[in-house]
Amino acid sequence: MAPHPGKLKPATKAVHVRNLARRFATKTILDGVDLDIEEGEFVALLGRSGSGKSTFLRALAGLDHGVEGTGTLETPESLSVVFQDARLLPWRTVIQNVTLGLRGSSGQEAGRKALAEVGLAGRETAWPNQLSGGEQQRVALARSLVREPALLLADEPFGALDALTRLKMHDLLRELCARHRPAVLLVTHDVDEAISLADRILVLDEGRLIEDLKIDLPTPRDHGDPSFAQTRIHLLSRLGVELPGRKAA
Amino acid sequence: MAPHPGKLKPATKAVHVRNLARRFATKTILDGVDLDIEEGEFVALLGRSGSGKSTFLRALAGLDHGVEGTGTLETPESLSVVFQDARLLPWRTVIQNVTLGLRGSSGQEAGRKALAEVGLAGRETAWPNQLSGGEQQRVALARSLVREPALLLADEPFGALDALTRLKMHDLLRELCARHRPAVLLVTHDVDEAISLADRILVLDEGRLIEDLKIDLPTPRDHGDPSFAQTRIHLLSRLGVELPGRKAA
Amino acid sequence: DAPLLSKVPPGTVLTIGDPVTQKALEVSGLGKELSFEVKWANISGGPQTSEAFRAHALDVGSVAEIPSIFANWNNLPVRNIAYRERRDPIANPIYRFGIAPGAAIKTLADFRGKRIAFSPGQAQGTLVLRALHAAGLKSGDVTLVELPSTSDVYPKALASKQVDIAPLGGVYIRRYITQYGPDGATLVEHGLRDDPSHLYAPQWVLDDPAKAAALAEYVGLWARATEWVNRNPDLWIKEYYVGQQGLSQEDGEYLVKLNGEQVVPSDWSEVKKRHQETIDLLADELGYKSFNVEQIFDNRFEKLGAAALAKSQ
Amino acid sequence: MATTWDADEAKLSRSSGGRIVRAGSRLVKPAGSAGPRARRRLGPGPAIPFGLQIGPALLVLTWVVGSALGWIDPRILSAPWTVAEAFVRLIEQGRLQDNFVTSATRALLGLSIGLLIGTILAVIAGLSRIGEALIDGPVQIKRAIPTLALIPLLILWFGIGESMKVTTIALAVIVPIYIHTHNALRSIDSRYVELAETLRMSQKDFVLQVVLPGALPGFLLGLRFAVTLCWVSLVVVEQINATSGLGYMIDLARNYGQTDVILVGLVVYVLLGLVSDGLVRLLERRVLSWRRTLAN
Amino acid sequence: MATTWDADEAKLSRSSGGRIVRAGSRLVKPAGSAGPRARRRLGPGPAIPFGLQIGPALLVLTWVVGSALGWIDPRILSAPWTVAEAFVRLIEQGRLQDNFVTSATRALLGLSIGLLIGTILAVIAGLSRIGEALIDGPVQIKRAIPTLALIPLLILWFGIGESMKVTTIALAVIVPIYIHTHNALRSIDSRYVELAETLRMSQKDFVLQVVLPGALPGFLLGLRFAVTLCWVSLVVVEQINATSGLGYMIDLARNYGQTDVILVGLVVYVLLGLVSDGLVRLLERRVLSWRRTLAN
Ligand SMILES: Nc1ncnc2c1ncn2[C@@H]1O[C@H](COP(=O)(O)OP(=O)(O)OP(=O)(O)O)[C@@H](O)[C@H]1O
Ligand SMILES: Nc1ncnc2c1ncn2[C@@H]1O[C@H](COP(=O)(O)OP(=O)(O)OP(=O)(O)O)[C@@H](O)[C@H]1O
Ligand SMILES: [Mg+2]
Ligand SMILES: [Mg+2]
């Protein structure tokens, strides 16, 4: 692929991807992905297990040193990643993990506040391995949010959370988006979650984005709304779930 | 608490727990839990993040060496755990992880078959860190299933799976239960998943089981069924989610 | 002491740490005359030999005068059983004092106030003490710098002017002067006798009649080997220095010349007198209790070496 | 046919049907006390109090009993009381204390310098390929050359004074510190490095928060080697122009064949080694308290 | 104001608005080739080909140039060509080969025995507190005693023959193998131990599948120390009743002040050390290929 480093997109595009391909050995994972995300846009990415969602996120974050591939990528420098695993440094306390690399007492303060927002006030000095799975995930979320990035890449950040905590985290994320308007790319397995949060939903399959759906429902979105249900059924069918009368979890 | 090692329950109880308490430092996590699970019974356990579900499972599995506590526990010796993290040995290949500790070529054969069942045929010789999050979780599931335990303790075994893969795994689990009739204790955050799989649903809160609900719906269960929806609403309210018109994810 | 048996009982085994004689016996063919079994050990030097004695791993060793003295001070009863010296000891000393480049030292008397390399417990160390004694100095009149005498530590210490004086032996004498002579390095002769060479054995070996008889036989061969080396310098250079020790022909010739001719006297009274002086000096300088020299000589062996030589000629 | 596995306050039994029953209360004391064991525990279990002291104590016991019963030839290995007498004598003469102070100064000075240099070299070589290219080879070379053979060169460069001794010790210490820290650094899980990259950490923060704490277990293992090495090196360096010091004391005694003094020296070495190692292990337990490993 | 970060086949630039642009294709060669770098990479980056050989090569270069230009006094450090001549001479005489074979036999025998015993001791002490109580102390004691000072005792117990030499080397090797393996074993993440417990693995399977592979990185680091130690120990053991061997050769040359032969000996040591260490590192890369660390 010919490089086009000169053709910078207008600054309103937060993410600009053209013809992105990634391969592991003989297996092609991404096969010509094109994507633009506007500033402040909230995009959800769905896809089967093993379809390449994490691979795509890692490419966007520039973490795939040494992975074979081609394509053009443009992202803001200020981006933040919530990894699929919580990825807390085991040798730093919870608060140290949140404020990693932040400077001064304002960083400390912000870290403490973010921890409280994810419901972990008072656990500042615990070691990561003293937390439950969901608690670890929330610390990782707090670590990303406290940085107020221009682009937030989140790989199933709510996977280990119960219904109530999950709703709280949705509210937290919405609030953050309203305040700082970051572009968000959220990987999730929960179709309802995608519909209720995102402006746009992508489905990745066989290395390509086979679906790019604008969601034009009013917020807050009602799960009972017929168009909500219709969108759900459409997306599930794109994911291969075609069971009328049986609603996927 | 006075020990009652003599009072063995009749053998039809797979799990027999009385007055189980567990504490970390000053924090009481389990505070007098009583539970009986019949042989072949499928029990789902719901609870907020940090409510002590994993702690309870670890106590049942006898893994909480050195955790402070009291109570009586009785479990079959042949039990198997799917941990909340996939917990694959990074230095063993996928197939070696599945057949860990199994003997002979029959073990190999069973391992290969289990891998195929979770959709990972052909990935036998990959290293765990070459798998996606959901793939790792499925390997861990295969490792547990291949052992055909009398008691299966599974800590959010489907958390990282997409809708389709998750349905397939549900079917796989149901099939295994039909064949070997193990007692199952499944921790999940997905209320619908709990309702569609379990014979009984427990809710853990503040160290106690605040709900013990028999599910008497016919199988396969229809998510659209009014009593399904009612059960969902009831359970969600027990989990603190009380938003009429807004259905939790 | 029980008189020596005239014949070595069959089955006697002796472990001998005397690699030079071993080679001489081999090259000269004298080794074939040994009537008992020998296990050779490549061990030399006082501390090592004494350690091997202590472990009962060795029956006899070949050293200079000092080790037997220290062994007796430290609970290891040993005795000298053979003695040889150089034909012209003052002209053919083993050691000379190397003088650091630029240090104006011409005689022993100039040692006052200087830094001297000193290795306690080794022959070189004792030589330093004896030289000071001869010059009428006490050890407090100089600075003794403790350094091991192994390897080229002494020449290096002299060359880098870390010490003013150090006893040098063997090839190091010549090498030091060729290398650092141009910078002003010199040598000083000490004019003392530093030539005694002994065979010594632990008391428990000497108390074993069979081993004692074997030792007696060995002393005879040892004397004849010494004489053989005196007479066959060329073959000795070729077989030992060049062939075994890996030296150049030139170095071999130099060492043969430096060693001069070694003789085995039939009378120990002279050496005992000098030995007693050394014991007294060391006792005085190092704070040990002096003892009678007779304690470390086994007189049963006194005549054996010279007798064997006389018989063979 | 229930088998009781643990009688400590609580019961764990196996009933006939292949079932595990556990009952009773347990109060876990701060560290290492045994609660009722759940299933066959594969780890080593809780620590035995003063467990690490049992081996050495048995050795001393063997020595005492063997000497008392005459099994050990005192010419070969002096009896403990002979050594104890020599110990007392050396202390009364003030020699042991003096030698110890001299040696400790040298050893600790060399240790500190070696620690600092070794760690810095390891970080440079660990984080930069060029640094590694320049540093790693020379350290491997230093390590391949026996110290004894290096001494003449060190004399040439550093003379025969204190600086040569401290340098030799520091050079000895650098090796394990460098190799362990470098290895530990390079073994840090790449997931944490990725994390640091996305957090846009400064190089300094990366070193201080990710690399050094992550490499700490390796560094501490290196430190365990370093603390004994700095004592052991004394025997070599104090052969050169020393008039006091533990190594000097042993060297002198070896030259004269004073077995009891040698043994006093060795006993002091052993004590120093055990105490130093014990201190590092204590430190290890404290600063690595975040770890959950087979050991606890 | 776009800065190009990497010119390798592709472009990574920073545009003025704090944005990162990457474009172009990259074909990743099997190992270590640099693709376009995404963001500032905090790790050391891809390996430099033959990087580890650069340091030693520079040292040799300094030696050659320094000697040729007369900066290095040949009395202090013989010139490389003098050493090369000695090398050739020793090989022609067959001495170097003979000595090497003798030494290699001793070293490798000692290494094998030490490896075996060290690993077994580490596993026993790692998995049982009683084993640790009995084994750990004595190993620490061995380690605290300078080999030089231990020799007299070893002579007492093993005589002055080959068995003493091989034993001394084996004892030297046991220390790093034991300590590293034991430490690595104890550092295995308790999560994997828990897993093994729930899988009802046999003790044997636990050791073979969990403990040993998990402790392998530590063991291999110990092996790196062991392989150089077995060569370095020769200098000490071959002072005692040896008639051939590299250590003996150096000793003899030291007696006669043959500086060129000494240097040949040291060069051989360095080569042996570098090659042994390199082999273990190669092995490391192969058997630890499952790891994703800072290094790759
Ligand atoms: N280092 C690697 N080497 C080889 N194959 C890899 C590697 N990393 C990932 N893969 C494979 O690439 C595919 C895509 O992986 P990826 O992690 O992107 O999936 P995913 O969509 O995130 O899946 P999940 O929802 O399960 O997390 C998977 O089949 C995985 O096995
Ligand atoms: N080793 C420990 N030390 C101190 N507190 C701990 C420890 N392990 C767990 N906890 C605390 O105990 C509580 C229960 O943890 P547990 O892992 O059982 O929660 P959980 O119900 O599984 O939550 P999740 O759904 O998030 O996984 C949590 O608040 C956790 O922080
Ligand atoms: Mg993924
Ligand atoms: Mg949990």
Query: What residues contact residue A122 under an 8 Å CB cut-off, 6+ apart?
Result: none
Nearest chain D alpha carbon to A90 = D290
List pLDDT tens digits, range C81-109. Answer: 999 988 888 888 889 999 999 888 888 98
Which range has the worst mean pLDDT, A94-98, B176-180, C148-152, D291-295? C148-152
How many A from CA of A193 to the centre of ligand 3? 17
CA distance C47 to chain D (A): 6
- Mean pLDDT throughout B159-187? 92
ipTM of the complex: 0.88
Nearest CA to ligand 2 atom 8: A130
SS3 for C97?
strand
Measure the CA–CA gap between B69 and A202, rounded to whole angstroms. Answer: 48
Contact list, B67 vs chain D (CB under 8 Å): 28, 35
Measure the CA–CA gap between A106 and A94, rounded to whole angstroms. Answer: 17
How many A from CA of B83 to the centre of ligand 2? 13
pLDDT, residue D11, reads: 46
Q: Which residues line ligand 2 (CB under 6 A)?
A: A 130-135, 160; B 24, 29, 47, 49-55, 84
Query: What residues contact residue E94 under an 8 Å CB cut-off, 6+ apart?
Result: none
pLDDT, residue A240, reads: 87
List pLDDT tens digits, range C73-86. Answer: 878 899 999 999 88
pLDDT, residue E33, reads: 29
Tokens matching residue E246 = 């590299």
Across the interface, do C147 and D160 touch by the CB < 8 Å criterion? yes
- Mean pLDDT throughout E251-277? 87
pLDDT, residue D291, reads: 87
Question: Which residues place a Cβ less than 5 A from the ion ligand 3?
Answer: A 54, 84; B 132-133
Q: Which DSSP helix (H) or strand (E) runs through E152?
A: helix E147-158
Q: Which of B50, B138, B190 sits opposite A134 (nearest CB)?
A: B50
Q: Is the minimum CB–CB distance between B61 and chain D shorter than 8 Å?
A: yes
Which range has the worst mean pLDDT, B174-178, D239-243, E287-291? D239-243
Across the interface, do B223 and A247 touch by the CB < 8 Å criterion? yes
The residue among A47 and E159 whose pLDDT is bigger is A47
User: From the centroid of its chain, how far is CA D202?
Assistant: 34
Q: Which of D76, D152, D241 sits opposite C146 (nearest CB)?
A: D241
What chains are in contact with D, requiring at least 3 Cβ pairs below 8 Å? A, B, C, E
Q: Is the minimum CB–CB distance between D190 and chain E shorter than 8 Å?
A: yes
pLDDT, residue A28, reads: 93
Q: Which ligand 2 atom is nearest residue B57's CA?
A: 18
Could you please report the per-residue DSSP string of C161-198? TS-SEEEEETHHHHHHHHHHGGGT-EEE---S----EE
Dihedral sign (CA A31, A34, A40, A45): negative
Q: Which of C119, C120, C162 sits opposite D159 (nearest CB)?
A: C162
Across the interface, do E199 and B100 touch by the CB < 8 Å criterion? yes
Q: Which ligand minimizes its atom distance to the CA of B136?
A: 1
Classify residue C81 as exposed, middle or buried by CB count within 10 Å of its CB (0-12, 13-18, 19+): buried
Across the interface, do C146 and D156 touch by the CB < 8 Å criterion? no
Across the interface, do E257 and C155 touch by the CB < 8 Å criterion? yes
Residues 167-196 of D with CB under 8 A from A: 191-192, 194-196
The residue among D25 and B209 whose pLDDT is bigger is B209
pLDDT, residue A188, reads: 93
Confidence of residue D26 (pLDDT cuts 50, 70, 90): low
Among B82, B244, B248, CA closest to A161: B248
pLDDT, residue E16, reads: 43
Nearest CA to ligand 1 atom 7: B130
Query: What residues contact residue A152 under an 8 Å CB cut-off, 6+ apart?
Result: A79, A80, A82, A144, A145, A182, A183, A184, A185, A186
- The best mutation among B23, B24, B191 to test binding of ligand 2, ranked by most ligand atoms within 8 Å of the C-beta, falls on B24
List pLDDT tens digits, range E125-136. Answer: 999 999 999 999
List pLDDT tens digits, range D167-223. Answer: 999 999 999 999 999 999 999 999 999 999 898 888 889 999 999 999 999 999 999
pLDDT, residue D157, reads: 79
Q: Which ligand 1 atom is nearest residue B137's CA?
A: 26
List pLDDT tens digits, range D279-294. Answer: 999 999 999 988 888 8
Q: Is the minimum CB–CB distance between C216 and chain D shorter than 8 Å?
A: no
Asked if C145 contacts C116 with a C-beta cutoff of 8 angstroms, the reply is yes
Across the interface, do C51 and E152 touch by the CB < 8 Å criterion? yes
What chains are in contact with C, requiring at least 3 Cβ pairs below 8 Å? D, E
Confidence of residue D40 (pLDDT cuts 50, 70, 90): low
Q: How many CB atoms lie within 10 A of CB B171?
A: 12
How many A from CA of A86 to the centre of ligand 4? 13
Across the interface, do E145 and D232 touch by the CB < 8 Å criterion? yes
Query: What residues contact residue A198 under an 8 Å CB cut-off, 6+ apart?
Result: A42, A43, A44, A186, A215
Across the interface, do E213 and B62 touch by the CB < 8 Å criterion? no
pLDDT, residue A14, reads: 87
Confidence of residue A151 (pLDDT cuts 50, 70, 90): very high
CA distance C54 to chain D (A): 6
Alpha helices in chain D (DSSP H): 54-68, 80-92, 95-127, 129-144, 147-158, 162-186, 190-198, 203-205, 212-237, 246-256, 259-287
Among C110, C104, C127, C137, CA closest to C191: C127
- The best mutation among A33, A49, A55 to test binding of ligand 1, ranked by most ligand atoms within 8 Å of the C-beta, falls on A55
Instruction: State what percent of residues in chain E have pLDDT above 70.
Output: 88
Confidence of residue E2 (pLDDT cuts 50, 70, 90): very low
Across the interface, do E23 and A5 touch by the CB < 8 Å criterion? yes
Angle at B220 between CA B215 and CA B225, to 5 degrees: 65
Chain C interface disruption, residue of D147, D256, D263, D264, most C CBs within 10 A: D256
Residue B4 confidence (pLDDT) above 70: no
pLDDT, residue C192, reads: 87
